[in-house]
Amino acid sequence: MAKVVDLENARWARSISFDLTALAKNAAIIKGKMVNFRNDLKRRLIVTASPGEFKMFLSGLFSEAIFKHPSLISRESLLCGIYFAQVLTQFLFEKPKSWWAIDYLLEHAEATAKNKRTNALKCGGDLCFLVCAVYPERANIRAMTLRDYQAMGIGLFQRHHTVSGVEISYYMSKQFSNMANIVYGHILPELQGVR
């Protein structure tokens, strides 16, 4: 079974290999498991999944989508897929503090503790990504557009990387649009049972 990596707390390149070969191998293993028991897994996971099971399921769907488009196979894309699975799983099992990206910018500006400031940037980037990838209909509220959320999400991830040095935020800022398109075009239809 593939390793589930806590990307937020991992120190890159310490004990886990994040090279493209290892990531692609793990993604292929997860993808293979998805093919073997997709429908039963879907029914069972959507209804009764633990967060870990659901995260693994999403990682498999993402790996499958990446492998359908060989030009997207890269270390960064596969890491972003793992991160997306973590973010969406967390969102499904915990309600976000706010649905408004601007609230996270305000929280960042008003917080005095460094960890709260950096967490606000990360949460804001995550929310913008979810709006662009999963809930684009929410983008046209409060005089915002989908492009505004995209630009804001990219900026929040860039700023989070600058402040915290977390590598996945850099990749998310660079791969934001591609990742949102993969989620919206390939993963959501799969979750909805459209094939």
Q: List Cα–Cα distances, 6 to 87, 94, 170, 186, in angstroms.
A: 11, 17, 16, 24
My answer on whether 79 and 124 are in the same domain is no
Assigned domain for 11 exists: no
My answer on whether 132 and 173 are in the same domain is yes
Domain region containing 66? 20-94+185-191
Calculate mean pLDDT across residues 38-54: 61
> Cα–Cα distance between 188 and 195 in angstroms, integer?
11
Q: List Cα–Cα distances, 23 to 111, 148, 176, 186, in angstroms.
A: 36, 32, 19, 20
pLDDT at 192 over 60: yes
The predicted pLDDT at position 1 comes to 44
pLDDT at 16 over 60: no
Assigned domain for 53 exists: yes
Give the range among 57-71, 121-135, 166-180 with minimum mean pLDDT: 57-71
My answer on whether 74 and 131 are in the same domain is no
Confidence of residue 87 (pLDDT cuts 50, 70, 90): very high
pLDDT at 44 over 90: no
Decide which of 38 and 89 is more confident: 89
Assigned domain for 13 exists: no
